[in-house]
Each structure stands twice: as structure tokens, then as C-alpha cells.
Structure 1
Amino acid sequence: MSARNSFSEYGSVAKTFHWLTALLIFTAFPLGYFANELAHYIQSPDFDGSQDTISRTALLFSLHKTVGVAVFFVALLRILWAISGEKPGLLHPDNKLEALAAEVVHWMLYGSLVAVPLTGWIHHAATTGFAPIFWPFGQSLPFVPKSEEVAHLFGDAHEILVWTLAASLALHIAGALKHHVIDQDSTLRRMLPGSGKMPQPPAQTHSLRPASVALAVFVAVLTVGTFLGEAEEHERAAADAPDTFESDNSALVDTAGSAALAGWQVQTGTLAITITQMGSAVEGQFSDWTATIDFEEPSSPGPAGKVDVTIVIPSLSLGSVTDQAMGADYFDSGTYPTARFEGEIVKTETGYEANGPLTIRDQSVPITLPFELTLEGDQATMNGSTTVNRLDFNIGQGTQDEGTLAFAVGIDVNLTATRAAP
């Protein structure tokens, strides 16, 4: 058997690429399916926080991603090999409709075999989270930032294209079986190992029409899939919106640290946390929180005022583990939708501190938040950070292994405020 294709049959290299690709695809699909099923369970209220379940989910996702990267490179090599040599002719080119369908499906398969793993890889590179690719070349991609928006965009595209690949694969298999069982020709046999001499196909020409049709199908699928996905997301967001914080409560809760304050009005600010999962730092922010601040600069170290912060827990964005963080073993946002910090502001010899109880879930724990303060007339800039132990707040009690989820959680607060008018 020749290594290269001829007009009548496939060579050994093309056959090897074909069956290696098939093996990788039929490995990646079940890995992705079971990983997603476990991820949905982890994000559900029924999850008990089992460390074994989290570790198993991470392993399945890592295996799925690793196989996906292998599919990407094998597909690229397969395409380069195919375009560098002769393409075996169709055995029934006079059946125009069937010939067009076969060519379109082939183009759909080639496109999907590149686009599906590539979108998944970009989603992985843009996401801050766990489940690394098992290889020594790092987890990032050139020109791909760590961005929730980029991750969301390519995650949706990956999901849509997976279904496109599955449909193309099903049509490809159905066509091969039709040729073998109904037509009883050599279409399938010439891709099998050691298939012997094959019949000579009729003379024929190939055009770019099937590629154009396949491209139009890709555009239509991505457009319709994106539209339906956005509609479903809007419905889910509307259903999940907490009733506690409706518009008539806007005097209590506003956006990103904007609130009705006593003494100082917050203009801009961020409230961020950092966790360590599977050895990787995962950063997140609360988009909805308020601060009531009463502060007067003392002439010497001592009491300087009070601060009262209310945090809307479901407003947390924490990369790929956002939904997991809302679960019953973690923040349990359905039962405890807010957290609160009530602190006494103290000027020290070296700076400032806010001391008081932080209440998360059903636990109140005294904490100290050291911070730097810059005063320029009626404007103040504050930057502070501290670390708490998640177990003190009954968060992640089912995950007692720091290798899976570290106990320490970093809290960073940055804000700019102006003195309120009397």
C-alpha cells in the first residue's frame, strides 16, 4: 500500500490520520459529557462538597482538554496532508445531490475538527480556573487575555460547534454505511487497512461550491446558536434575580460600591477576592455592594469613624467556578444572599485599620482590614487587603484538602470617595 493517495484509493498516511482522529473524537466526547454532568452536579444545591467529586471532575476536564488539543494538531496535519496530495474521486459523481452532500459534510468535518478544539482551547486560556491541559507548554495562548467576556464568547462557540461536529460526524457515518450496505460499493472499504486494489472512479472535477455551502452552514449555526443562547441566558438571569434587591430598594443597594452614605460618598470602587484552587489563583469581584462611611481624620492615633458594608453575594464573578461558589457547600447564595462587615475605623501609628465582624452565611468572625488612605481636600482614596479562612465561615466544609481548595481567601478593597455635603 502506498503512503500517498491515488485517484482510486487512500494511502496509508491518510488512513492513519482518519482512524487516529476517530479514536480521539470518540474519546473526547464521553470525557466532555461526564465532566459536564459532574460540573452541573457540583453547581447544584444537592452537592455535598465532596473533594473526590471535585477532583474527579477536574481530572475529566483535564483529560478532555488534553485530547482536544491532540485533535486540533492531528486535524491540522491531516488537512495539510490532504491538500498536498491527490484526492480520491467519488464513485458516483453523477448523483449530483449525493455528491454535493458528501463534499459538504467533509468540509464541515474538517472545519469542525479545527474549530471545536480551538474554541475550547481559547476558552481555557481566557478562563481563570482549574483543570489544566496535561502538557509542558503552559496554559496560556498568545494574544488571548484572561477575560471573562472572551471566555464566555468562546465557551458558547465551543458548545455550539460541538453539536455541529456531532451532526457532521453522524452524517459522515450514515453516508459510509449507506455506501457499504445499500450501494455495496468500495467507498468505505477503501478507507480500511489492507483493502486491496480498488475500482477506478469515473472522471470528475471538484469545485469550491461544497466549501461555500459548508461555510454558510457554519455561519448560520453560529448565528442561530448565539441568538438562542443569549435568549436562554436572559431568561435564566431573570429567573435567578433575587427578589430581595428590587428597584424599590435602590436606596439600600446600588452598583459597585455606590450608596447613600453618611459623611462620605463612594464614587468608584472594587471589592475583590482571590482563592487558590488546584494550585492556581482564581480572582473574582463583587459587582454589587454598598458602603456607609462616617470618617473624621483624628489629630493623633485613635478612633476615626465607622464603616458598614453590605455585599450582594450573587453578584460575585469568580471565573469558571462562579456557579460552584454559589452552591450550598460554599456561599449558599440562595439561603444567604448578602454578607456584611461592620467595622470601627482606627488610625494607628503606621496607617489605618477597620476592625469588626464580617458576617458570611450564618457565621460572624472578627477581622482586621489594614488600609492605606490618601486625603486630598474632600476626596479620599483607600486601598486595603486582608486574608480570612473560608472554614471559619463554613464555606467549603466538604473540601478539607488545601491542594484542592486553599483555606486562605484574600480580600482586596479599593475605593475613591468624596465628602458628602452637609
Structure 2
Amino acid sequence: MRGQAASGPRYSQVAIVFHWTIAALVVANLAIGLLHESLLPGTIPLHKSIGLTVLALTAARIVWRLGHRPPPLPAEVPAWARSSAHALHAMLYALMIVMPMTGWAMGSGRDVPRPVSWFGLFDVPPLPIGKAAGRFGHEAHEILGWVMLALVVIHVAAALRHHFLLRDGLLARMGFRAR
């Protein structure tokens, strides 16, 4: 099976752009979220803007995916790996929605909720929630941030395993095509 997936079915260019754009934004936001107090002070407005962008792009990606099925995994992929991949992707999709929503809730559940400025271009109003929901959002956002980091590491490790150890070309399905 070595190299077979590279010449087999691939993701569409739109799916590839969604994947890598959202991936870059998620990694950047994890770094900002985890390091904003120590190494990256003053970056929370950027963190919020990126989070809202991830939310919007993920919603668009889900709508796109409803009409465009991903390429099937090669038949040689074992059932356990197939199930694991589907579960991991489902959890990542869920977190790409829930993480921005809990962050938005965290900022919305304050004594005086303020809109979020999206990269200084326009304001996104706070959610109509109370302080208790804001506190829940805060706790959930912190915990789920660590879960997201763990899932991203697992996802990257699995992709690198396919590329370097199994050499099955699976990673190439999500790569940009040379023109």
C-alpha cells in the first residue's frame, strides 16, 4: 500500500484550504490561550478574534462537508484505526465549535458584558446569558483548551505516523497540489 493514497482519492481544494486555515488558527489560538499571561501579554483581543474566525470557518466547513463527502480511507486501513480516526475527527469538529462558544460565553457572562471587536473591523455582541453561564464558560474553556491541545497532538502524531512510518501516502490526500 506504500504511496497508494497519494495517487488515490484526495480531498478537494476547498476542504484542504479549510483544513489548513483552521489548523493554523487553532494552533495559534492554543499558543495565545496558554501563554497569554506569561509570554504573550495583551493578546486576548487577538485570541477572541481568532476564536470567532474558527467558529465561522468551522460552520462553513461543516456546511461544505455536508455536500462534499471526504475521500474514503483505503480498504487496507484496519477497522480500529478507521474508528479511531472518525472519533478523533468528530471530537475535533465538536471542539472547534464548543471552544469558541465557551470563550464567547465567558466574556458575555460578566457584570458588564462587552462586545468583542473582530480584528478592529466590527463588534460582535455578547451572548444574552447570565453570570453563572459565564462562569461555566470560563471553566469549560480552560479544561477544553487542554483537551483540544491533546487531540491536536494525537492528530499530528497519527498523520506523521502515516507519512514516515507506514509510508502509505495518506497524509498526501490533505496536501496542496503542485500546479
| Secondary structure of the corresponding residue to residue 134 of structure 1 | strand
| Contact kept in structure 2, 1:61 and 1:131, CA below 8 Å | no
CA distance in 2, matches of 1:17, 1:119: 22
Structure 2 residue identity aligned to 1:13 = V
| Secondary structure of the corresponding residue to residue 142 of structure 2 | helix
Match of 1:17 in 2: 18
Match of 1:190 in 2: 173
User: What is the alpha-carbon root mean square deviation over aligned residues?
Assistant: 2.3
Match of 2:126 in 1: 140
| Contact kept in structure 2, 1:92 and 1:99, CA below 8 Å | no
Say yes or no: does 1:78 pair with 2:97.
no
Identical aligned residues as a percent: 29
CA distance in 2, matches of 1:128, 1:64: 21
Structure 2 residue identity aligned to 1:144 = I
Alpha-carbon offset, residue 24 of structure 1: 0.6
Cα distance per residue 1:207-260 (max 9 Å; x no partner)? xxxxxxxxxxxxxxxxxxxxxxxxxxxxxxxxxxxxxxxxxxxxxxxxxxxxxx
| Contact kept in structure 2, 1:189 and 1:195, CA below 8 Å | no
CA distance in 2, matches of 1:92, 1:126: 49
Say yes or no: does 1:155 pair with 2:141.
no
| Secondary structure of the corresponding residue to residue 87 of structure 1 | coil
CA distance in 2, matches of 1:103, 1:163: 20
| Contact kept in structure 1, 2:45 and 2:117, CA below 8 Å | yes
CA distance in 1, matches of 2:154, 2:126: 34
1:62 counterpart (45, 51, 55): 45
- Structure with higher RCO (Cα < 8 A, 6+ apart): 2
Write 1 or 2 for the structure with the bigger share of helix: 2
| Contact kept in structure 2, 1:66 and 1:134, CA below 8 Å | yes
TM-score, with length taken from structure 2: 0.85
Alpha-carbon offset, residue 139 of structure 1: 3.6
CA distance in 1, matches of 2:173, 2:124: 40
Match of 1:99 in 2: 82
| Secondary structure of the corresponding residue to residue 86 of structure 1 | coil
| Secondary structure of the corresponding residue to residue 164 of structure 2 | helix
1:70–1:94 Cα change, 3 Å: closer
Write 1 or 2 for the structure with the bigger share of strand: 1
Say yes or no: does 1:111 pair with 2:94.
yes
Structure 1 residue identity aligned to 2:9 = S
Match of 2:30 in 1: 29
Structure 1 residue identity aligned to 2:95 = S
Cα distance per residue 1:270-312 (max 9 Å; x no partner)? xxxxxxxxxxxxxxxxxxxxxxxxxxxxxxxxxxxxxxxxxxx
TM-score, with length taken from structure 1: 0.38
Cα distance per residue 1:137-167 (max 9 Å; x no partner)? 34412x323x2x2211111111111112111
| Contact kept in structure 2, 1:17 and 1:74, CA below 8 Å | yes
Alpha-carbon offset, residue 93 of structure 1: 5.1
- Across the two proteins, how many residue pairs are aligned to each other? 169
Alpha-carbon offset, residue 34 of structure 1: 2.4
CA distance in 1, matches of 2:178, 2:90: 25
Cα distance per residue 1:324-381 (max 9 Å; x no partner)? xxxxxxxxxxxxxxxxxxxxxxxxxxxxxxxxxxxxxxxxxxxxxxxxxxxxxxxxxx
Spell out the pairing of 1:123-134 with structure 2 (5 A cutoff). Answer: 123-128=106-111, 133-134=116-117
| Contact kept in structure 2, 1:93 and 1:99, CA below 8 Å | no
Say yes or no: does 1:87 pair with 2:70.
yes
Spell out the pairing of 1:258-337 with structure 2 (5 A cutoff). Answer: none
* Structure 2 residues not aligned, in runs of 5+: 1-7
| Secondary structure of the corresponding residue to residue 193 of structure 1 | coil
1:94–1:11 Cα change, 3 Å: closer
Match of 1:409 in 2: none
Structure 1 residue identity aligned to 2:123 = F
